Amino acid sequence: MPLLGVNIDHVATIRQARRAQEPDPVHAAVLAELGGADSITVHLREDRRHIQDRDVRILRDTVRVRLNLEMAVSDEITQFALRTLPDQATLVPERREEVTTEGGLDVITHMQRVSQCVDQLQGAGIVVSLFIDPDVAQVQKSRELGVEAVELHTGAYAEARGQQNIDREFDRLREAGLFALSQGLILNMGHGLTYQNVTRVAQINGVHELNIGHSIVSQAVLVGFERAVRDMKALITA
Ligand code: PXP
């Protein structure tokens, strides 16, 4: 059974929509831990569109489970990581115009930059995971880079339509996962996982952790909405 890493970026997305103080991702992290999260993930993007530096600094002090920082291979964010010292860093590709992380990090093309970044982070005692497509060549290169873990991108599986396509993408995950395990890598998976599509992925042998964000935040908004309206109504009619 895999562990659950909860990505709380979109709590910050709601906050930043109003440049307000609520909802605070720090509060969400506490509740996620109470709900059984095995790690808390945040992505400090270069454009700071959701998570802010302050969030990561406070989370570093308050999160009791592992703190996983998703980050681009960039000098500025690497320096931030070296100051803040998350337990784990997951290197992801990042483009300003994208809505969310699109595709895995191409560790073959960007080997040199990735290697430098990995060395710096590991030198500070941070466990490094690479977010890559479920592709044997990418897994192989990740192993050569000496990282502890890979996170296989489940987006193509999540977005596939039609049983044949879903099965094909699922097989790619399983096969790349098996290869990662055979290379001694910790095997994580994530992106686009939902209450509808997660079960099958959770049953893949050897998966250490699933990282899930958007679907959990979406569920929280809906499951908590009725209660939130009742609480406000009670206050104004008291
Ligand atoms: N893993 C990685 C590397 C990601 O970039 C993201 C999105 O921030 C996730 C997992 C979580 O994806 P989702 O929000 O679709 O669950």
Question: What DSSP letter does each residue of 23-60 carry, written as one string?
Answer: S-HHHHHHHHHHTT-SEEEEE--TT-SS--HHHHHHHH
Q: Is the CB of 50 under 6 A from ligand 1?
A: no
Which residue puts its alpha carbon closest to atom 5 of ligand 1?
A: 101
Q: Is the CB of 7 under 6 A from ligand 1?
A: yes
Which residue puts its alpha carbon closest to atom 7 of ligand 1?
A: 191
What is the arithmetic mean of pLDDT over 12-41? 98
What is the arithmetic mean of pLDDT over 151-166? 98
Q: Is 50 a catalytic residue?
A: no
pLDDT in tens, 173-209: 999 999 999 999 999 999 999 999 999 999 999 999 9
The overall average pLDDT reported for the chain is 96
Question: What DSSP letter does each residue of 105-164 carry, written as one string?
Answer: --TTTTHHHHHHHHHHHHHTT-EEEEEE-S-HHHHHHHHHTT-SEEEEE-HHHHH--SHH
pLDDT higher than 70, residue 55: yes
pLDDT band of 58, cuts 50, 70, 90: very high
pLDDT at 96: 61
Which domains, ranges and CATH numbers included, belong to the chain? 3-236 (3.20.20.70)
Least confident of 52-66, 87-101, 168-182: 87-101
For 231, the 3-state DSSP assignment is helix
| Contact partners, residue 209, CB within 8 Å, separation at least 6 | 2, 3, 4, 5, 38, 39, 186, 188, 189
Question: What's the pTM?
Answer: 0.96
pLDDT band of 102, cuts 50, 70, 90: confident
Indicate which atom in ligand 1 lies nearest the CA of residue 158: 15
What is the arithmetic mean of pLDDT over 164-169? 98
